[in-house]
């Protein structure tokens, strides 16, 4: 049984009529379109993530690691603003409208990103704006999640959410892998003079994301139909755009939503996305500082590492689908947070070896004689590598070993996908059969807020205080999330279980 088929074989409580069978086929075709939309959204984000820093330095040398945090955060800031808006839109209008609109914004923003080298000044600001608009278009994730939640029964929900997360992970794999592959185009690439477009290792991924976006729009227009079922699997309503596809409408379930459980879920999701945003933002600067990798090496190697983490995530989703049926969603969320804590704990520097130092100026003879290797930044023919001397912590903070870095990647690659799928699976179950567009918009907004604050936080703390302080604070945040989950554990239950319509 394939990954995407298992949820579809869960029987619904319905009449075996031709109308319902036809609606079921249409329902799962539409859910697959949502899977694909999530996949492309993930590709659109990760396909440039490892090359943002070197691209930023190439187009505007005045940009520093702190500004990198704002550029990475701009995507999430745009998504945070857009998610509740698209969620509200989807509650009152056919979902194809906000989906098509958001994808068009995303396509336009990626084209803008490919041209940020063109202005004669303030190029870094143009990159920041381009990423903000890409993120605004990615606000459709709220629409995708709300549709999958409302189109599946309680028994189908975890499996369907795991499938969606697996598609997201596939995008997470393909994005960095494509970026690593496209890095062989080089920094120069080719120039299309007629339209003043440079196609190189930095712009080619964004242009590929444009092609993916166009395909996504066609699928939404041609295939998507809307079907809604309650937690028992009975059809509530269908919006199929054609009269002959309509099915009988069942009465909506009454009852209130546990707002404290909703708030707790949003906080936990914020923490989960915050810590992963920290990880993906700092991976390139950290590896360049600690391992003395060049810009091209950092893009290639981190692309491979992130692709491997994505592949690992798919295996985790397969395991989660089986284990959650045995132990439940909450224990998996708890265990995932513990694994994430271990992953960041492994990144804490220790030992008596220090990183290679990149000196800003060696023109005078006052440079201290110490045991660290030196790379002169004044040599224009060779790209300077190592930990920049202006980051004073480089002089006294032990190096983070490559084995530490890889071990941390593996642990986070297990903990993050587990927490991710369990957090919004639990959230969708807490909401029950109520319209979820706005609620999912707020969940996505909380995650986007985390992706906004995470890069800004880590870029500033890392630049000023170094990895020891940055990762110690992250460990403290994860520990606080574990305590919160333990305190609210009994309230994080499904809507139908809380109101007694389905037994736990």
φ, ψ dihedrals at 375, nearest 5°:
-120, 110
Other CB atoms within 10 Å distance of the CB of residue 378: 11
d(CA 339, CA 357): 32
**Predicted pLDDT of residue 233:** 62
Average pLDDT over residues 437-459: 80
Each residue of 154-188: pLDDT tens digit?
777 778 887 887 787 777 777 877 887 887 887 77
Top-confidence residue, 214 or 503: 214
Q: Is residue 357 over pLDDT 90?
A: no
**Predicted pLDDT of residue 485:** 93
Q: Is residue 332 over pLDDT 80?
A: yes
Average pLDDT over residues 379-390: 73
Q: Which of 4-13, 25-34, 361-370, 374-383 is predicted least confidently?
A: 361-370
Close Cβ partners of 48 (under 8 Å, ≥ 6 residues apart): 55, 113, 175, 179, 202, 205, 206, 209
* Residue (of 83, 75, 498) closest to 262 by Cα position: 498
User: Directed axis angle between helix 259-291 and helix 437-465, to 10°?
Assistant: 30
φ, ψ dihedrals at 147, nearest 5°:
-65, -50
- The residues pairing with 406 across neighbouring beta strands, listed in sequence order, are none
Alpha-carbon distances of 211 from 177, 207, 241, rounded to whole Å = 17, 7, 27
What's the predicted TM-score (pTM) here? 0.70
**Predicted pLDDT of residue 14:** 44
d(CA 177, CA 76): 22
Q: Is residue 1 over pLDDT 80?
A: no
Sketch out the chain's domains with CATH numbers: 18-353+398-498 (1.20.1250.20), 354-397 (no CATH)
Average pLDDT over residues 183-208: 82
Measured in whole angstroms, the distance separating CA 439 from the mean position of its chain's CA atoms is: 19
Q: Is residue 463 over pLDDT 80?
A: yes
CB 147 within 8 A of CB 445: no
**Average pLDDT across the chain, whole number:** 79
Q: Is residue 251 over pLDDT 50?
A: no
pLDDT-based confidence at 307, cuts 50/70/90? confident
Dihedral sign, Cα of residue 462, residue 465, residue 471, residue 473: negative
């Amino acid at each position: 049984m394939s990954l995407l088929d298992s949820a579809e074989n869960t029987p619904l409580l319905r009449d075996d009529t031709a109308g319902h069978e036809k609606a079921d086929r249409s329902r799962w075709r539409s859910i697959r379109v949502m899977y694909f939309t999530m996949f492309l959204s993930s590709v659109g984000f990760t396909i440039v993530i490892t090359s943002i820093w070197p691209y930023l330095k190439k187009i505007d040398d005045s940009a520093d690691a702190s500004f990198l945090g704002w550029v990475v955060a701009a995507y999430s800031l745009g998504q945070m603003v857009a998610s509740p808006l698209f969620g509200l839109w989807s509650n009152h209008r056919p979902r194809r409208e906000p989906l098509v609109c958001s994808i068009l914004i995303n396509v336009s923003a990626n084209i803008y990103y490919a041209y940020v080298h063109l202005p004669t000044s303030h190029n870094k600001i143009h990159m920041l704006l381009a990423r903000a608009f890409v993120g605004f278009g990615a606000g459709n994730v709220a629409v995708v999640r709300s549709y999958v939640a409302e189109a599946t029964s309680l028994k189908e929900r975890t499996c369907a959410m795991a499938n969606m997360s697996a598609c997201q992970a596939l995008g997470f794999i393909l994005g960095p892998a494509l970026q690593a592959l496209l890095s062989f185009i080089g920094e120069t690439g080719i120039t299309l003079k007629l339209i003043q477009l440079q196609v190189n290792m930095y712009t080619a991924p964004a242009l590929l994301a444009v092609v993916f976006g166009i395909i996504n729009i066609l699928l939404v227009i041609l295939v998507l139909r809307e079907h809604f079922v309650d937690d028992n699997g009975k059809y509530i309503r269908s919006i199929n755009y054609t009269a002959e596809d309509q099915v009988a409408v069942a009465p909506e379930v009454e009852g209130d939503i546990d707002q404290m459980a909703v708030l707790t879920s949003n906080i936990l999701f914020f923490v989960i996305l915050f810590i992963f945003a920290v990880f993906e933002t700092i991976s390139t600067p950290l590896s360049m500082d600690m391992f003395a990798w060049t810009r091209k090496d950092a893009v290639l190697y981190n692309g491979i590492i992130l692709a491997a983490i994505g592949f690992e995530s798919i295996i985790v989703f397969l395991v989660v689908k089986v284990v959650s049926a045995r132990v439940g969603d909450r224990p998996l969320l708890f265990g995932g947070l513990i694994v994430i804590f271990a992953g960041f704990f492994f990144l804490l520097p220790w030992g008596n070896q220090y990183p290679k130092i990149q000196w800003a100026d060696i023109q005078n003879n006052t440079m201290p004689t110490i045991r660290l290797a030196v790379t002169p930044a004044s040599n224009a023919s060779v790209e300077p590598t190592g930990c920049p001397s202006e980051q004073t912590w480089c002089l006294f903070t032990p190096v983070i070993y490559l084995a530490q870095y890889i071990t941390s990647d593996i642990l986070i690659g297990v903990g993050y996908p587990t927490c991710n799928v369990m957090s919004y699976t639990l959230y969708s179950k807490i909401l029950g059969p109520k319209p979820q567009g706005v609620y999912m918009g707020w969940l996505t907004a909380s995650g986007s807020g985390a992706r906004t604050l995470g890069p800004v936080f880590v870029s500033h703390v890392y630049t000023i205080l170094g990895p020891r302080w940055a990762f110690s604070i992250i460990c403290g945040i994860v520990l606080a999330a574990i305590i919160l989950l333990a305190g609210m554990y009994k309230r994080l239950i499904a809507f139908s279980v809380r109101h007694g319509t389905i037994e736990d």
